[in-house]
Amino acid sequence: MRPHNPATWKPMSAKLIDGKLISAAVRKQVTEETSAFTAETGVTPHLAAVLVGDDPASQVYVRNKERACRKCGLKSTLYRLSDKTTQQQLMDLVAELNADESVHGILVQLPLPDHLDSTPVLDSIRPDKDVDGFHPENVGLMLQGRPRFLPCTPHGVMKMLAHENIDTTGKHAVVIGRSDIVGKPMAGLLVQKGSDATVTICHSRTTDIAAVIRQADIVVAAVGIPEFVTGDMIKPDAVVIDVGINRVNDRLVGDVEFSAAAEKASAITPVPGGVGPMTIAMLLGNTLKAAKQSV
């Protein structure tokens, strides 16, 4: 990051961190490695995705994952269950997939319908098939710095930072949101040896959240509120990673007020086309890794 003097600093346009471009490079590598692995072993990496109910966003996500698998040479099987599916029926399907040695990765698309409890479902996925990285065993391994799988969205963010040569060492990273899917693991990766950031997690109980964000060299917004982070919260020359994707009328917007933040940041991710494509790319990589570990 460039040093700045608040008295002389002037607005500028941030560099755009292109998730589509970076994810394309990751997918190309996965495609090449998958082809070589299948040629050598006769095994095609196989992702089983479970979709319960008819949530429109979830259907789009799963469709995109299926398409990405096909393009990279992976096998993808989608299990569509009705919104009347019981907890036991869902658990039984996961047990079947656990026992099927032709399946290397299992993904249960969240959120589940309200009457289903996601925790026991995710806990029941075999850790060596947990390509989302949500199982407690995999979370523990990640926090200890010896991961089996890294959770897809935080891993994608770390790939973006590395691709852009953004040094996190000694930087103050502020993660907004404490979800098990993004916020907590994101903080866990940033604080690891090798990343070496000083990390603050902000959430709904944080006092004067704007003041905390203004201290950040790196902002990771994953709160799920449209344009929650306004331009005046961004420290000059900060790096802004917007994980959010929210539909406002006919627009897709992130958790960051993009145009205002881009005037102050040194680099920023767009929405759409930023973190989203990276999440799917990392899922493909995890599925290939699971297949390699199975032989």
Sheet holding 15-16, edge to edge: 15-16, 267-268, 239-242, 218-221, 172-176, 198-202
- Separation of alpha carbons 160 and 20, rounded Å: 11
Query: For position 6, what pLDDT does the model report?
Result: 43
**42-126 and 153-276, same CATH topology:** yes
175-179: average pLDDT: 98
Query: Which fold would CATH assign to domain 153-276?
Result: Rossmann fold (3.40.50)
- Separation of alpha carbons 78 and 104, rounded Å: 14
pLDDT category of residue 180 using cuts at 50, 70 and 90 = very high
Query: For position 57, what pLDDT does the model report?
Result: 82
Spell out where 141-282 has E strands.
Answer: 172-176, 198-202, 218-221, 239-242, 246-248, 251-253, 267-268
How long is the chain? Answer: 295
State yes or no: pLDDT of 225 exceeds 50. yes
Domain boundaries, the chain: 42-126, 153-276
Catalytic positions are 65, 109, 132
pLDDT in tens, 6-34: 444 445 589 999 999 999 999 999 999 99
Average pLDDT, the chain: 95
Minimum mean pLDDT range among 50-64, 138-152, 178-192, 267-281: 50-64
Per-residue DSSP letters for 123-160?
A: HHS-GGG-TT--SHHHHHHHHTT--SS--HHHHHHHHH
What class is the 42-126 domain? alpha beta
Is 0.85 topped by the overall pTM? yes
Q: What share of the chain in percent tops pLDDT 90?
A: 91
